[in-house]
Structure 1
Amino acid sequence: MAAERADAARNRQSILRAVEELLAEQGPEHVSLDSVAARAGVGKGTVFRRFGSRTGLFQDLLAERAARIRAAIDSGPPPLGPSAPPRDRLLGFLDELAKLAAKNITLIAAHEQACAADKHQDPTYQRWHDHVTRLIRQVRPDTDAEFVAHLLLASFEGELVRHITDHGGVKRLRTAVRDLARRIVPE
């Protein structure tokens, strides 16, 4: 794969920063290819060619926010990395998702709305689902790991995260999801 040109990388970062700013300042309903292009100081064609749609913008921004978690899963230390036991990896991953979701509630909600028709086809969701499914299969081969993975990931639905964190913070979200996971994959 060819390296990204420096100007293309700068444009990508400017565009994603513009999406983030518009989400924070005006909400997802005001994020359009036109508004993002104007904010980023690039042409609408540049945004369209790179991201394709609002959905593409939200998907890329979420993928960027999740990149640190992905790297830790692939080659990081415990509890996320491959050398940790599967149950510890699952709990560590859910903890990281709780932090990510609480910090990025508006993005998560916008992403869900934009991807509503095919949420399960979103590349970030698929990576998360595949990871959780593999871990559950290792710990509980007797259960429907695919379904349980969807169930656990549903805990990070945007409006649910907003409600729970508004009434107990990220600690409440993290504790509740960990409790659910421990019931599914007991020691």
Structure 2
Amino acid sequence: MSLIPIRPGSPFGTPPERSDAARNRERLLQAARDLVAEHGVDAVTMDMLACRADVGKGTVFRRFGSRAGLMMTLLSDAEAEFQREFIFGPPPLGPGAPPLERLIAFGEARIKYVEEYGELARAAAEHSPQNRHDAPPVVLWHRHIEMLLREAGLDRDPWLLALSLGATLDPERMLHSLRAHGVAPERLAASWRELVTRLLKDC
């Protein structure tokens, strides 16, 4: 498996930026993260970012292209880190733990991810050129869940079961539970743990 970006045209593994360009990029992204934390995703504008980072508005547009591009870049960085953790990181989320433990850890990590980045995920999905269910990172999550089901010995249509499990981790669905119904993240994690444990108990 290899890392898959959220933002089209920005594949991981491209030649590294010059050090000054990388510093400027990180400064802009950190300013954007701070604004999102302070005001929420929907309130952040390119003007606000230019003002916070003390750069011209043209600089912001040259770097990100549009507001949607900024949001997708922010999410791509977060998604890249999440992918590194479940593909290459330490167990139980990464390789080395039994498949059930990895599956539980994956769901718990995804819930934490949505709690922190769910609004960005929602904003990015609104501007994605693809169906959100066919976006490359979503396909990667599905493959990962399917792989763990197969490793656990589940042979009853693991591809479709992986789709069903993935649907319970859909960011929009989880945000609705968290925001509209006041469901605590710990309760979501416990529900995920119960679901996958029961699914694999006879394997």
Unaligned runs of 5+ in 2: 1-13
Aligned residues, how many? 187
Unaligned runs of 5+ in 1: none
Alignment-derived partner of residue 178 in structure 2:
164
SS of alignment partner, residue 33 of structure 2: helix
RMSD, matched Cα: 3.0
String of CA shifts for 1:48-79, please: whole Å, max 9, x gaps.
34333333322222232244432232322221
- Bigger drift between 109-118 and 124-133 goes to 109-118
String of CA shifts for 1:85-128, please: whole Å, max 9, x gaps.
22222111111111122233433333343438632354433432
Q: Cα offset for 1:5?
A: 1.4
The separation in 1 between residues aligned to 2:47 and 2:149, in whole angstroms, is 43
The 3 A distance-change label for structure 1 pair 113 and 183 is: farther
1:116-135 equivalence runs, <5 A: 118-135=131-148
The separation in 1 between residues aligned to 2:51 and 2:119, in whole angstroms, is 21
Alignment-derived partner of residue 12 in structure 1:
25
TM-score by length of 2: 0.72
Higher fraction of helix: 1
The separation in 2 between residues aligned to 1:141 and 1:46, in whole angstroms, is 53
SS of alignment partner, residue 133 of structure 2: helix
Alignment-derived partner of residue 10 in structure 2:
none
1:111-150 equivalence runs, <5 A: 111-115=124-128, 118-139=131-152, 140-145=154-159, 148-149=162-163
The question of 1:53 aligning with 2:66 is answered yes
String of CA shifts for 1:7-35, please: whole Å, max 9, x gaps.
22122222222332332333333333343
The question of 1:62 aligning with 2:82 is answered no
Alignment-derived partner of residue 6 in structure 2:
none
Aligned-pair identity in percent equals 35
TM-score by length of 1: 0.77
